[in-house]
Amino acid sequence: MSINYPGGTNANPFYPSPNHKPQIDNYADRGMTLEADLNQSNRYYLEREIAVIHKKPTPIQIVKVDYHKRSAAVIKEAYFNRASTTDYNGIYKGRYIDFDAKETKSQTAFPLSNFHEHQIEHLRKCVKLGGICFALIKFVRTNEIFLFKATDLFQFWDAQHNGGRKSIPKLTIQELGYNIKYRLQPLIPYLDAVDQIMD
């Protein structure tokens, strides 16, 4: 088993290559670059001292490593040593930011099964303490990204356990969320939507 960073060869897990371009024209590649594009967007924010937001490392326990070359150790066996929370966190305008990035190939709804109970509970605790929390949801087939507030997410999450539907209709996400358009710098300007939440 080996672990590669987004893009396969980057030395820094937080930032992809500066030459990375969002794959928005090739339908076959859509959905494969959300994390890399977010990391590059966060790099843009960091370099300009706009925000400090990083992808959280995946909590793994390494069990076996093959040291056949000193410069090329390969992880042969590893496991998750605890449940991960959300993908990203940091600080923006003096406020704590915490969010998860999710994708769906559905064109009509976002399945709530993309989240886990412990992730929702983590977001609840952060919201309770004043954090700005949300999900970035990408509809892969149409290449649309929405910021969906955690408080709205909680309503649908709780409703599914009381006979409600197990997905959020795309029309609802369009109505309650904030559509984020790709642009050159940053690639995913999601803090523009965060500004609207803060206002």
Cα 189 off chain centre by: 13
Binding residues for Mg(2+), as ranges, are: 85, 87, 100, 119
Indicate the residue type of 190: Y
- Describe the strand order of the beta sheet including 132-139 as a list of residue ranges: 51-55, 88-92, 95-104, 132-139, 144-149, 178-180
The CA distances from residue 123 to 53, 70, 101, 112, 135, in Å, are 16, 41, 13, 15, 10
How far apart, in whole angstroms, are the C-alpha atoms of residue 23 and residue 170? Answer: 22
The two tokens of residue 36 are 């890399």
Binding residues, as ranges, are: 85, 87, 100, 119
Contacts of 145 (CB under 8 A, 6+ apart): 34, 136, 137, 138, 139, 179, 180, 182, 188, 190
Contacts of 179 (CB under 8 A, 6+ apart): 144, 145, 146
Q: What are phi and psi of 113, to 5 degrees?
A: -65, -10
